[in-house]
């Protein structure tokens, strides 16, 4: 009887060990698959952010070029008009016997046209130079490409040994049982833990100007998102955070975007010269 009991205990222990190993292997395989998919997603998000920033830089160039190209055309017209006025003043002759009042009116008209063309030429040149300088300043200081930093690239990396830090509940999670408690788990905000620093989603810090600057991973020591408020976990391992706060991927009207507002602020310094150049013409 004792041999039968001992054999039963050994058999049960063997079954438990086999089941535990199978569950462990199953969860580790899922964990590594999820980490691989997350890395691919993060790299794809980085590409989308760069592409969106490139479109914004094109918007800045297009908006500023509206004034810059107009001023170039105005300068051509003003130069031709100046040439006509100078030619009339130097080579133009009225018929002998022309009344004095008509001669004075003729000279006054030519001199006024000459002065207005000079004024329009100066205003157009100033507006073009300021617009070009504003475009260069926006593109070099504010509307920059969000090239990932080393911390962001390192945050996409996952070590296989990190599975050992997940805890017994995650390592031996029984399939088809967690969905019963998934609603309770997903609703609780999970603060970043030291073991999760490499697994959190990339953040989008902003510069002093309010525009997107080079980001670093949320939870990475020294990163801009390390002091951020806790966010909800969006994966079964409670490691990833939602990317809804990524500015480049937020759906918003074009008129409300920051780079458009920056162009509006920059236009204050040259739009008046643009308007008065047209008035002088």
Q: Is residue 199 part of a domain?
A: no
Range of the domain at 163: 1-176+251-280
Check residue 182 and give its pLDDT: 56
What is the model's pTM? 0.68
Q: Is residue 229 part of a domain?
A: no
What are the two backbone dihedrals, phi and then psi, of residue 241, each rounded to the nearest 5 degrees?
Answer: -110, 160
Q: Is residue 100 part of a domain?
A: yes
- Give me the tens of pLDDT residue by residue for the chain, a chain 281 residues long: 576 777 777 778 888 888 888 888 888 888 888 888 888 888 999 999 999 999 999 999 999 999 999 999 999 999 999 999 999 888 888 888 889 899 899 899 999 999 999 999 999 999 999 999 999 999 999 999 999 988 888 888 888 888 888 888 788 888 777 666 555 444 444 444 333 343 333 333 333 333 333 333 333 333 333 344 446 777 777 778 788 888 888 888 888 899 999 999 999 999 999 999 999 88
Task: Please say whether the beta carbons of 208 and 254 come within 8 A.
Answer: no
Check residue 202 and give its pLDDT: 30
**Helical (H) or strand (E) element with 77:** helix 2-91
Check residue 17 and give its pLDDT: 85
The total number of structural domains that make up the chain: 1
CA atoms within 13 A on the CB side of 280: 26
Q: Is residue 268 part of a domain?
A: yes
């Amino acid at each position: 009887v004792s041999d039968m009991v001992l054999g039963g205990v050994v058999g049960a222990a063997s079954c438990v060990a086999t089941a535990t190993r199978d569950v462990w292997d199953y969860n580790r395989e899922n964990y590594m698959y999820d980490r691989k998919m997350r890395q691919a997603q993060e790299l794809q998000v980085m590409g989308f952010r760069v592409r969106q920033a490139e479109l914004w830089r094109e918007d800045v160039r297009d908006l500023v070029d509206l004034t810059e190209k107009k001023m170039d055309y105005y300068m051509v017209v003003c130069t031709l008009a100046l040439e006509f006025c100078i030619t009339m003043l130097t080579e133009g002759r009225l018929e002998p016997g022309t009344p004095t009042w008509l001669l004075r009116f003729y000279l006054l008209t030519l001199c006024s046209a000459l002065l207005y063309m000079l004024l329009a030429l100066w205003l157009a040149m100033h507006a073009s130079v300021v617009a070009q300088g504003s475009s260069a300043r926006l593109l070099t200081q504010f509307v920059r490409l969000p090239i990932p930093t080393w911390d962001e690239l390192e945050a996409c990396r996952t070590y296989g040994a990190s599975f050992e830090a997940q805890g017994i509940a995650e390592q031996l999670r029984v399939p088809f049982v967690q969905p019963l408690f998934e609603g309770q788990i997903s609703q609780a905000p999970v603060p970043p833990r030291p073991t999760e620093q490499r697994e959190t989603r990339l953040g989008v810090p902003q510069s002093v100007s309010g525009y997107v600057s080079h980001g670093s991973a949320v939870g990475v020591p020294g990163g801009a998102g390390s002091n951020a408020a806790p966010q909800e976990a969006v994966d079964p391992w409670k490691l990833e955070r939602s990317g809804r706060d990524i500015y480049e991927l937020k759906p918003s009207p074009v008129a409300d975007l920051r780079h458009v507002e920056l162009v509006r602020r920059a236009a204050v310094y040259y739009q008046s010269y643009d308007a008065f150049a047209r008035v002088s013409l």
